[in-house]
Chains A and B, each alone.
Chain A
Amino acid sequence: MWTTITQIAPYAIVFTIPLLITALGGLFSERSGVVNIGLEGLMIMGAFAGAFTIFKLQAQYPNNPSVMWIGLLVAMLAGMLFSLLHAFASINLSANQVISGTAINMIAGAITIFLARNMTGSGNIHIGSFVPFNVPWLSEIPIIGPLIFTKTYWTTWLILIIVGLSSFILYKTPFGLRLRACGEHPHAAEAAGVNVKRMRYFGVMISGAFSGLGGAIIIVTYAGEFTGSVAGLGFLALASLIFGQWKPLGVLGATLFFGIASTVANVSQVIPSLAVFPPIILKVFPYVVTLIALIVFSKSSRAPKAVGEPYDSGKR
């Protein structure tokens, strides 16, 4: 059993990280009052921009590891820029945020493949990936070592630092307080001198940057290539956000749950102690649990009060 767990753990963590950063991005957006169902599209855009950049740079500077990091940076920028479409529609034009987000998903899914096909013909962009490593010293620690510090990626630690920082920013800085106020009671926030529209722009742009990063991390860790989709991870991130009740630590727990559940389902056939379960049960498990969690949390939902409502400063 223990060997099974240590075999699975690194994969579960690697799978969790893109979900985690994307859901955290969604958290900024929704806490500022804008529903962002376009996380999936923003991830795809980031994955494409990252893969494109790395592909082009690798041709010029082969074997230069910093190329990957530049790709991640470009992915963040691309996600941020692309999220402006959603921000403009939902903040300035009072569009239905769910529909605008759906449009974001459709645009990203279509245009990235369109562009990728123009580049490579098949629509796939192969780039290779980071090499996982064992953290020296720490991976020797019993129990925690094999679980957390083996076969790990630098991106994992980067994201964990971002989660910590985000938590600090949201709860301990004026910026975080203002952002949250815009999602709870924008009129009160405005009366206190906060520029609601600007804060919401920040929220959506952060979600774009984080989702873009999340999408690109998939490419540079376990996928190794861009294939035109992120297999519904953006939607799973959205579910994690609700599952985690719009709190950074809650989101960390929810995404870790999805990461473990999905990994278990994926590897169940090759690990004897898991093969006793019919695969369909394992595959469907995370989604059914989400539905149940939605019911359980429905009474005590901590959803930001003004989320999804266009802000109209003249409205009472």
Chain B
Amino acid sequence: MNNKIVVSLFAVVFGLLAGAILMLVTGHNPITGYSYLLEGGLKNPERIGNTLATATPLIFSGLSVAFAFRTGLFNIGVAGQLLFGGFCASAVGLSLDLPKALLLTLMLLAGFVGGALWAVVPGFLKAKFNVHEVVSSIMMNWIAYWTIYYAVPAYLKGEFLETESKALPDTASLKVSFLTEMFDGSYINLGLFVAVLATIIISFIINKTTFGYELKAVGHNRHAAEYSGIAVNRSIILSMAISGGIAGIGGVALYAGNASNIQIGILPSQGFDGIAVALLGANAPVGVLLSALFFGLLYSGRGFMNAMTDIPPEIADSIIAIIIYFAATSILIERLVRWLIRRKANAKSSAEHEGKVK
């Protein structure tokens, strides 16, 4: 475990260094760049609120990827699950007129079901036909993309634009006045609390329940798990369903919290960032939470940095992508750490040796 934290920290350091090099190569000053990036994410309560809100969908997508990963499944379809979950929740939010607490609960439920539905297809295909979940969930992403593309104008059309859904009423929004006021008008919303709750629940399921143990067993060795009497196929389908469900709730946080409608023609990038979040967080729920906050900071500060320095905002995406490459090649970092430790030990022993000679 400790080892994983070291790898993640090194990956972050390397990612930030690479980002600095990118800034230098393109003729910008990395120190001013990074300080504006930090300022943009943390300068005042509003910006802190926005950073937390930006991190919220990332927590969900990260949890989603990490949960499936524990069962040995690579859920690259989080983007589609976010989109479809958010769509189901928006449909509920726009068509029912209920008290806020009840409506939000129903929307979260709808989001979960929508996301789960979208993820069950690859899960089922994997369990029954051994179809690789990566390819099938990528197909599901595009099916979601086009379904939303035509379903939103047909059923949830906005008042002014064809390309977005109708704005959700206040009773169907995760934004609440006390949070908005506390953070000086930031778009922070209840989604954050749901995300923290989800982190705790997922952590409990993975670490403390038989069900979680079975999922992990399937992830470690499918055949051994089957031999010991675990229903492998059921585990795979359930794992994908829950993973998709978490993503679906993330869609609610994204489209009914941070935003108040759905834009068509966009696969939410938060879905793919979930892979990065999960990987940096070593697939542990708490790790996911922390790395989502870190990525949230990069994403939320980049606008301010761009305004102050003309460094293109895609620097944040580049840094995240490079971090993922280093996290994926963890062996490189492990070798480096081992080498550093050995060199230190050598230096120490040779110093002692010299001491004796004197």
Binding site for B on A (CB under 8 A): 37, 85, 88-89, 93-96, 98-100, 102-107, 109-111, 113-115, 117-118, 123, 232, 235, 238-239, 242, 278-280, 283-284, 287-288, 290-291, 294-295, 298-299
CA distance A106 to B146 in the complex (A): 22
CA distance A209 to B269 in the complex (A): 27
CB distance from B273 to the nearest CB of A (A): 8
B134 proximity list for chain A (CB < 8 A): 37, 98
**Structural contact, B279 and A238, CB atoms closer than 8 A:** no
Interface of A is mostly: helix
Q: Which of A113, A114, A242, A299 has the most CB of B within 10 A?
A: A114
B241 at the interface (CB under 8 A from A): no
B190 at the interface (CB under 8 A from A): no
**Structural contact, B130 and A298, CB atoms closer than 8 A:** yes
CA distance A218 to B136 in the complex (A): 25
CA distance A239 to B76 in the complex (A): 14
**Structural contact, A283 and B322, CB atoms closer than 8 A:** no
Q: Knowing A110-B318, A287-B139, A294-B131 touch, does A96 contact B276 (C-beta < 8 A)?
A: no
Q: Knowing A98-B74, A106-B317, A114-B318 touch, does A239 contact B143 (C-beta < 8 A)?
A: no
CA distance A287 to B76 in the complex (A): 15
Give me 12 other A-B pairs in contact (C-beta within 8 A), A99-B279, A107-B318 excluded: A85-B325, A88-B329, A93-B331, A99-B324, A99-B328, A102-B76, A103-B328, A110-B314, A123-B312, A284-B143, A287-B140, A294-B135
**Structural contact, A106 and B276, CB atoms closer than 8 A:** yes
B196 at the interface (CB under 8 A from A): no
**Structural contact, A103 and B321, CB atoms closer than 8 A:** yes
**Structural contact, B136 and A291, CB atoms closer than 8 A:** yes
B74 proximity list for chain A (CB < 8 A): 98-99
B276 proximity list for chain A (CB < 8 A): 106
**Structural contact, B147 and A280, CB atoms closer than 8 A:** yes
B142 at the interface (CB under 8 A from A): yes
**Structural contact, A111 and B321, CB atoms closer than 8 A:** yes
**Structural contact, B146 and A89, CB atoms closer than 8 A:** no
Choice from B129, B147, B321 contacting A109 with Cβ under 8 Å: B321
CA distance A252 to B216 in the complex (A): 40
Choice from B136, B146, B272, B330 contacting A294 with Cβ under 8 Å: B136
CA distance A100 to B324 in the complex (A): 8
CB distance from A243 to the nearest CB of B (A): 9
Q: How many residues of B contact A (CB 8 A)?
A: 44
**Structural contact, B329 and A114, CB atoms closer than 8 A:** no
B327 proximity list for chain A (CB < 8 A): 99
Binary flags per residue of B314-358, CB closer than 8 Å to A gives 1, else 0: 110110111011011111100000000000000000000000000
Q: Which of A105, A106, A283 has the most CB of B within 10 A?
A: A106
**Structural contact, B331 and A117, CB atoms closer than 8 A:** no
Residue of B at shortest CB range from A278? B150
**Structural contact, B329 and A89, CB atoms closer than 8 A:** yes
Q: Which of A93, A123, A299 has the most CB of B within 10 A?
A: A93
Q: Can you list 18 A-B contacts (CB < 8 A)?
A: A37-B134, A89-B329, A94-B331, A98-B74, A99-B275, A103-B325, A107-B325, A110-B314, A111-B318, A113-B314, A114-B318, A123-B312, A232-B138, A239-B138, A284-B143, A284-B146, A287-B143, A298-B130
Q: Knowing A106-B276, A109-B321, A288-B143 touch, does A115 contact B328 (C-beta < 8 A)?
A: no
B225 at the interface (CB under 8 A from A): no
CA distance A134 to B149 in the complex (A): 37
Residue of A at shortest CB range from B306? A117
**Structural contact, A238 and B135, CB atoms closer than 8 A:** yes
CB distance from B229 to the nearest CB of A (A): 25
**Structural contact, A114 and B315, CB atoms closer than 8 A:** yes
B22 at the interface (CB under 8 A from A): yes
A232 proximity list for chain B (CB < 8 A): 138, 142
B147 proximity list for chain A (CB < 8 A): 280, 284
B321 proximity list for chain A (CB < 8 A): 103, 106-107, 109-111
Binary flags per residue of B141-184, CB closer than 8 Å to A gives 1, else 0: 01100110111000000000000000000000000000000000
